[in-house]
Structure 1
Amino acid sequence: MDTNFQPVISTNERGHYRQHSLEFKRALVALSLEPGASVARIAREHGVNANQVFSWRRLYRQGRLGVPALMRDDGLLPVMLAPTAPAPSNSNSDAGGIIVLELGEVRVRIDGQPNVAILAQVLDRVLR
């Protein structure tokens, strides 16, 4: 009977974990969000586990992949320009401009000159 009593020594207890760049993660998330895409197929083609892609999608939706939570095929919102009546002189708006955003059942109207930080937060919530 041959037995080996020498301990197995491992220099790394948990193994080697690959570090993927944000660009790689964003690219796989974008591919997985396309209509008819198979997360399992995309993961297999790029050498990662499908559960990892689902995890990255969750991070993306939370806005934790370093990009706004807007990733559509064209990345654009439809814009229509329409003439408006001049603002009355006693109006409280700073610039007299009006921004109206319509996305599905959501309609946002902004009069005057908006605060950039607040506008970014509103757009982030509306576009999720």
Structure 2
Amino acid sequence: MESEKNHGNGRRGRPNYDVAFRQRLAAAACEPGVSVSKLAREHGINANMLFKWRRKYRAQLAIEPAPLLPVTLVSDRAALEHAGRALAPISAEVQRDPGTIEVRIGKAAVKVSGSVDAQVLRTVLEAFR
């Protein structure tokens, strides 16, 4: 596969690789079971350079906060009423079970079952940064 070099500056010597290309290869090098040396060979680049790109990529992921998405909570009753369906009575057992929250960021995951104190959850999620 041809590497994506930027030769537009007229400079000779070391090639300048496109940022998107570097990030794409660095992300691929982070995948489980991928040989960084083999990936570098396949793209015609030096393995040490790809290891450097991977280190920078991982460091960047560690400092960039994950984007937060807006969330709207809708009760099951409201959703079913909105759909025009009859709602069966909710059993006492279901009402006592507060549920489970699972958050995955990259390869890390946090799973919280039962009732959760908001401050404790905030502290746990901040540990992902």
Asked whether the two chains share a fold, i.e. TM above 0.5, the reply is: no
Q: TM-score range by the shorter chain?
A: 0.3 to 0.5
When normalised by structure 2's length, the TM-score is 0.44
Greater helix fraction, Structure 1 or Structure 2 = 2
When normalised by structure 1's length, the TM-score is 0.44
